Structure formats: C-alpha cells, structure tokens
Amino acid sequence: MLELPYNQDISQDFIVASLKKTGYKPETKGKFFWKDNKVDGFYIFKGVRLEGLKSPVDLYFKVDEKSRRSKDESVIYLLIGKEDGSFISSDSDEASFNAAREFLNGFIDQAAAYKLSLDISEQEDVVKDAEKKLDRLQSDEKDLTRKIEQLQKDLKRNQDDQDSQEKTVDREKKKLAELKSKQ
C-alpha cells in the first residue's frame, strides 16, 4: 500500500507511465485501466518484467481515494502474482516481493516529478490558449482600426459633401431669389 498526494486519475496515469518504463505493452489500445482487466476491484497487468527479476510477474493494482473529504489524495494497493495465478508474499518469494516493493516505493520520488510534468504541460496549454486569445484580440484591434479609418474617411467625405451641398443650396436660393425679384 502506498499513499500519494494526488487524485485517482493522476495516480492511475502515473502507474501506466511507470509500467511503460518497464517495457510493458498494453493488450488493447487506449488506457490500461479498462473494466475488462479488473478482478475484485484490482486492475491486472500480466507479464510485467520488474528490475532484478528473471521471470515476469502479474501486478494487481487498485487505486482509491484516501478519504471522502480529500479527493486530491489516493491510496495505491499492489498485489503480486505469478503467471500461474497464485499470489506472492514475502515468505513465498522474497526476491519478487522485494522487487515489487521497490517498484512501488519508486513511485514516491517519481510521482512528484510526474505530477510536475503534468502541471507544466497543463500550464503550457494555458499559455498557448492565452497567446491565441491575445492574437485574436490583436487581430480584432487591427480590424477595428481599419473600420475606424474607413469611418473617418466616410465622415470626411460626408462633411465635404455637406459643404458642397450647402454651396449648391446657396446657389439655388440665390437663383430663386433672383426669379422672385423679377416677379
């Protein structure tokens, strides 16, 4: 049993990453934690080669929340089995038991590094999203500036047209006044 200060999903993903480091290949594509590979609440990983062992072992993992109040902490349970389906204890096969214990204890140091890499990756995604939003806003600013410039040109043209029209109205009023004076 090992307690980690991370939620169940991170702990499960970390187990998968650790198993991949041992050279373990999944039987199916996708996540390792499939319902098909589950027996009595434990996920089975058959034929895992642990460091220091000549023959592969079967690993049975179960990941639970540490408590209902603390969903950001989890407990990992590990059982070690032989390929014939029997379980290994410290008395029956000390070398395999110790290799599995070392594998599980290695999670303590590696889990912090794994969580940090997840946090870095997540923050990189946040930065990328923020940069994309900034790019969109800058593009919008250019579009709005172009629209403002076009509206200013339209306003200037309208003012020029008004001046011209005022002159036309004045000319026409003078003509009207001349015609009325002839009456």
**What's the CA gap between 156 and 170, in Å, rounded?**
21
Side chain identity at residue 102, one-letter code: E
Query: Can you say whether residue 26 is alpha, beta or left, with left for phi > 0 and alpha for psi between -120 and 50 degrees?
Result: beta
> pLDDT 10s digit of each residue in the chain, 183 long?
888 777 777 777 777 777 777 777 655 444 555 545 667 778 788 888 888 788 888 888 888 887 777 667 888 888 888 877 778 877 888 888 888 888 887 777 777 787 788 889 999 999 999 999 999 999 999 999 999 999 999 999 999 999 999 999 999 999 999 999 988
Instruction: Give domain status of residue 161, yes or no.
Output: no
Domain holding 56, by residue range, is 2-129
Instruction: Give domain status of residue 169, yes or no.
Output: no
Instruction: Give domain status of residue 69, yes or no.
Output: yes
- Total structural domains in the chain? 1
Instruction: Give domain status of residue 164, yes or no.
Output: no
